[in-house]
Amino acid sequence: AVYCTSKKGRHLITVGGYRFSRHRSTGLKTRWHCSTDQPKGCKAELYTVDNTIVKINNNHNHHPKYFRHQTYLDAVFSTSKKGGQIIMYGGYRFCRERSKGMKTRWRCSTDQPKGCKAAICTIDNTIVKINNNHNHSPR
């Protein structure tokens, strides 16, 4: 499960490519409804207690829309010579471009003057999306 905040500031949880939005909270207990495709009337929901999922009805009436969780085993989080955080992936180096909350965007820094658009998105240091289309070769 990945906890995040929407562009409008709503609290969200993504599980298996399905996004759930907070419906109601009482104390430490929160009920979440599937918000991936609300117009279809999806009844999937989950419950958390103190931000830990304790119950889930994962029976959706639609396919997932959001990122599919993939494992990037060959991605390595490291430190640059200047002490900054970097990610090495496929022979390319990515440096931190910007962060907001737990979400960070990393851009290719292997050959920056060529205007490479390759990027990695992480949430809480977990890679959730990679655009690995480079306009140059790895070094």
Would you give per-residue pLDDT tens digits along the chain (139 residues)?
677 777 777 888 887 778 889 999 999 999 999 987 666 788 899 999 988 889 999 888 887 765 444 555 567 888 888 888 999 888 889 999 999 888 899 999 876 677 888 999 888 777 888 888 888 888 7
What domains sit in the chain, N to C, each tagged with a CATH number?
2-57 (no CATH), 76-131 (2.20.25.240)
pLDDT digits (tens, 9 = 90+) for 102-121: 889 999 987 667 788 899 98
**Token pair for residue 109?**
């820094």
Which residues, other chains included, contact 18 with Cβ-Cβ below 8 Å and sequence gap of 6+? 34, 36, 44, 58, 60, 64, 65, 66
What number of other Cβ atoms are within 10 A of residue 36's Cβ?
19
Q: Which residue has the tokens 């889930």?
A: 56
